[in-house]
Amino acid sequence: MYKSSNLGYPRIGEKREWKRALERYWKGESSGEELLEETKKLRLKNIQKQKLQGIDLIPVGDFSLYDHVLDTAAMFGQVPARFAYNGGKVPLQTYFQIARGNKFAVASAMKKWFNTNYHYMVPELGERKPLLTENRPLAFFREAKEALGIEGKPVLLGPLTFIKLAKGYEEDKLEETVESYLPLYAQILTELEREGVEWLQIDEPYLVTDVTPREWNITQQIYQTLQKAAPKLKVILQTYFDAVTDYKTIISLPVAGIGLDFVHDDGENLASIQQYGFPKEKVLAAGIIDGRNVWRANLEEKGELLAEIQKAIGSDKIIIQPSSSLLHVPVTVKEEQIDLILKEALSFADEKLQEINTLTEGARKGKAVIRAQIDKSKEAIIRLNSSSARNNQVLQEELKRAAGKPERSDNAKIRQQAQQEAFKLPILPTTTIGSFPQTKEVRKERLKWRKGEITNEEYETFIQAEIKKWIEIQEDLELEVFVHGEFERTDMVEYFGEKLAGFQFTRFAWVQSYGSRCVKPPIIYGDVAYENPMTVKETVYAQSLTTKPVKGMLTGPITILNWSFVRDDISRAEVAKQIAFSLKKEVEELERNNIRMIQVDEPALREGLPLKKEKWKKYLDAAVYSFKLATTSVERETQIHTHMCYSNFEDIIDAIDALDVDVISIETSRSHGEFIQTFAKKTYEKGIGLGVYDIHSPRVPTKEEITENIENALAVLDPRLFWINPDCGLKTRNEEETIGALEVMVEAAKGMREKLLVQNQC
């Protein structure tokens, strides 16, 4: 009874049609009705494509106008009170204000979706009684059936995961909180069953984390209740991103199927099945095609894995599917103009669906039927592994010579004294994180340069003019530490990958990061090696225009790793080491050119943290090693900065300290300074800036807001070590917003300096 299935499809369209539709609406260039009509066409096209690929169980309801967690919150009427929601179906304008804020209210917090580079909006519970404003899964099921004749598999975020991702409830009242939502979930399932829906996918990725016995008890209560509400509905309880923490409990739950990840589980899910068996009455939804990476599957190996799974469960009641939603990969390889050896080794969403269909056909009819496809997959992988790109002997010898534990030659206090003498900064120095607005003109000139419509010299002249303009703006704003603005950079990872060996870039391989923000992660396909200076020219030019220090701006090794699609033939730690060694050379080149402040950003360090604490140490040790390999060879007067964002930093505060940076800036504005409490428990003795306003929201903060954020931070941090900065780069903001916000920030900093001076005199 082998079936093929998908867990979720990219929302954005092959050419980012979704993004453009959203942004036209936000700019007032289209109506809400036009937005909904455009996105409906795209959604139905995506469903039809999956049907044509031969997928049996096609997800519906996985599509979103912004984020599926926000969709779930809106479905239950969980709109923060500050947005003046009056009940009923959440209006489109209100929905987007929750995500983006407005002139009067800050947006909801944004966090990483488990250990991926996707961001979800954090639901705010407790202000309103939950109610069912609409049955979204039912609406999408009806839409696909009426428009295409396709009876899809609705997708629903599970109760436990939804609530554990939220804020606004007390942990000791988790049971009561879950119970308040259960009748609404039961109503959704009852209506789906009444409609004739056969299969429902309920996503519970939280079950692969360190789930407590209490939470497992709650999970049992949830699914017993839902089974009673809709006994004929076939529920697949879907997990992904790792192995489930209590296999014996999950297979005992009253559901028709269990979805397990057999790619990112370190072999634990298969081992559990082999040890404990699998219920004969249930279907196993086996995630055997990687839903998070872009490499072509070795169909021989996948077929062998499938055979092992079948032997272990003693049944062919198997659904063959990706390990997770395909939201995390680009749409299709077909339009990419890249080297054939690499292109044939890649597999994006559409190609992964082909692989699933092929494996399903082989499972049903025998391996001989798909022999040609098996051989083709193996040959493509062998060709890439044998290529010179993956066998750089010079680099391997350099890395052997660089072996050892990297450390700064002086401790932090000695460095602080030397750096203060060198820079003579006032208390509470102000700076920004790195990027300034990338206007239409900047993007237009870059595109003309890439197309060869202007010369290198013309493009360089344009970039220098932008740098000069923003150096002057920073002078006028009276910031203390400047940046050059990064106008030459498309993306903080892509830019460096384009200048290092071992990376491949694409034209259309976009994935959603947050909201309409899409990125093209580079593909690390070979050995990463340094070729030429990457940032020196622009940084040195900026420094020549001012006496204020200008920070050199680099992206750190772990962020480059975590925001790339990484080769899977060697360990991720080894790839990170290669990247770090290249960045070390760039740091030393900046220092040789008298750039004495160098920021090596690691916004993605926390997001790569394994979902189970028992695996944290190995990851963090490798991350700290890579960062220090890149940064510790500089002199004591050279100040190393880093930046991190979107994370629960309290989980990694010791690792942050171990990085031994001179100054760290951390995003905290959307979390309303919750991270500050970490410092009430742990002393941090290096420079630190907690982002004092949110750059993801298109609004200029008030002086009172920023002052309050500064005061909250100084309640637990030494003002002599505190820096004042926005919470992230300003690339996505417009010029008016940026200057307005920075003016307020500088004014607030000056006011706080005066206040501290008065306090010290008293």
Residue 184 CA to residue 762 CA, distance in Å, equals 59
Helix, strand, or coil (residue 453) = coil
517 assigned ligand-binding residue: yes
Question: What phi and psi values does residue 555 have, to the nearest 5 degrees?
Answer: -95, 135
Residue 60 CA to residue 50 CA, distance in Å, equals 11
Residue 700 CA to residue 698 CA, distance in Å, equals 7
Q: Does 119 participate in catalysis according to the annotation?
A: no
In sequence order, the 6+-apart residues with CB closer than 8 A to the CB of 457 are none
Helix, strand, or coil (residue 390) = helix
Name the strand (E) or helix (H) holding 4. Answer: strand 3-4
Two structure tokens written together for 445: 């000139």
435 assigned ligand-binding residue: yes
Q: Of 572, 673, 56, 481, which Cα lies nearest the Cα of 264?
A: 572
Kindly state the DSSP code that residue 322 receives in the 8-state scheme. Answer: E
667 assigned ligand-binding residue: yes
19 assigned ligand-binding residue: yes
723 assigned ligand-binding residue: no
355 assigned ligand-binding residue: no
193 assigned ligand-binding residue: no
544 assigned ligand-binding residue: no
563 assigned ligand-binding residue: yes
Rg (CA), the chain: 26
762 assigned ligand-binding residue: no
Residue 91 CA to residue 150 CA, distance in Å, equals 28
Q: Which member of 68, 484, 641, 696 is catalytic? A: 696
Q: Are strands 511-514 and 517-519 parallel, antiparallel or unpaired?
A: antiparallel
Two structure tokens written together for 317: 């009641």
SS3 letters across 29-83: CCCHHHHHHHHHHHHHHHHHHHHHCCCCECEECCCCCCCHHHHHHHHCCCCCHHH
Residue 435 CA to residue 645 CA, distance in Å, equals 14
33 assigned ligand-binding residue: no
Two structure tokens written together for 538: 């622009």
601 assigned ligand-binding residue: yes
In sequence order, the 6+-apart residues with CB closer than 8 A to the CB of 664 are 641, 642, 643, 644, 656, 686, 687, 688, 689
Residue 32 CA to residue 52 CA, distance in Å, equals 30
475 assigned ligand-binding residue: no
In sequence order, the 6+-apart residues with CB closer than 8 A to the CB of 8 are 59, 62, 155, 324, 325, 326, 327
607 assigned ligand-binding residue: yes
Helix, strand, or coil (residue 664) = strand
Q: Which residues pair with 195 in a beta bridge?
A: none
446 assigned ligand-binding residue: no
CA distances from 368 to 154, 359, 496 (A): 34, 11, 45
Q: Are strands 523-530 and 663-666 parallel, antiparallel or unpaired?
A: unpaired
Residue 486 CA to residue 472 CA, distance in Å, equals 15
CA distances from 628 to 6, 520, 570 (A): 41, 27, 21
SS3 letters across 459-494: HHHHHHHHHHHHHHHHHHHCCCCECCECCCCCCCCH
Residue 592 CA to residue 597 CA, distance in Å, equals 12
472 assigned ligand-binding residue: no
Q: Are strands 687-690 and 119-121 parallel, antiparallel or unpaired?
A: unpaired
Residue 91 CA to residue 112 CA, distance in Å, equals 25
Cβ pair 61, 140 in contact under 8 A? yes
Two structure tokens written together for 423: 């820079």
Name the strand (E) or helix (H) holding 665. Answer: strand 663-666
Kindly state the DSSP code that residue 430 receives in the 8-state scheme. Answer: B
Residue 749 CA to residue 430 CA, distance in Å, equals 7
In sequence order, the 6+-apart residues with CB closer than 8 A to the CB of 301 are none
Residue 354 CA to residue 655 CA, distance in Å, equals 42
Residue 88: Cβ-neighbour burial (10 angstroms; 0-12, 13-18, 19+)? exposed
Residue with tokens 């086996």: 286
Annotated binding residues for Zn(2+), written as ranges, equal 643, 645, 667, 728
Q: Give the annotated binding-site residues for L-methionine.
A: 433-435, 486, 601
- Binding-site members for L-homocysteine are 433-435, 486, 601
Which residues are marked as active site? Answer: 696
* Annotated binding-site members for 5-methyltetrahydropteroyltri-L-glutamate: 16-19, 112, 517-518, 563, 607
